[in-house]
């Protein structure tokens, strides 16, 4: 079993829909990252969080440490949101960053 599991693996939505991507992990963590990888391959950090909730524009990230679960929400989705969204968790040491396999999101106009 992977230490970081994302669901769904693939997601297709219509423009304007509310989107949720889930991340569950099985190890103790100090922080969790949400990353966005564009079709061209570049990776951008969206959020780093260790508790509660963060919001940036139409993106919201939440984490429940007790349940070892995080969600990434996108409100009023747009075709430009089409990308792969990656969850990664920080274990004990700085080098111990464990990545999920990503969720491929496609938003249709």
Partner 1 sequence: NAGVTQTPKFRILKIGQSMTLQCTQDMNHNYMYWYRQDPGMGLKLIYYSVGAGITDKGEVPNGYNVSRSTTEDFPLRLELAAPSQTSVYFCASSTQGPLHFGNGTRLTVT
Return residues touching partner 1 (CB under 8 A).
2, 4, 33, 35, 41-45, 47-48, 86, 88, 94-95, 97-102
Residue whose CB is less far from partner 1, 95 or 109: 95
Is the CB of residue 8 less than 8 Å from the CB of residue 24?
Answer: no
Distance CA 47, CA 54 (A): 7
Least separation in angstroms between CB 14 and partner 1: 26
Which residues have CB under 8 Å from 6's CB, separation 6+? 21, 22, 23, 85, 86, 87, 100, 101, 102, 103
Residue whose CB is less far from partner 1, 17 or 99: 99
Residue whose CB is less far from partner 1, 100 or 107: 100
Least separation in angstroms between CB 103 and partner 1: 11
Least separation in angstroms between CB 109 and partner 1: 27
SS3 call for 79: helix
Residue whose CB is less far from partner 1, 78 or 101: 101
Q: Which of 101, 97, 102 is nearest to 27 (CA)?
A: 97
SS3 call for 80: helix
Least separation in angstroms between CB 47 and partner 1: 8
């Amino acid at each position: 079993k992977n230490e970081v599991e994302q669901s769904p693996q693939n997601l297709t939505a219509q423009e304007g829909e509310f989107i949720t991507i889930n991340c569950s992990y099985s190890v103790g963590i100090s922080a969790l990252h949400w990353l966005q990888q564009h079709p061209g391959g570049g990776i951008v950090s969206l959020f780093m969080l260790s508790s509660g909730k963060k919001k940036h524009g139409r993106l919201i990230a939440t984490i429940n440490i007790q349940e070892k679960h995080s969600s990434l929400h996108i409100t009023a989705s747009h075709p430009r949101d089409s990308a792969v969204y990656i969850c990664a968790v920080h274990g004990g040491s700085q080098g111990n960053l464990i990545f999920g396999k990503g969720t491929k999101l496609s938003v249709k106009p």
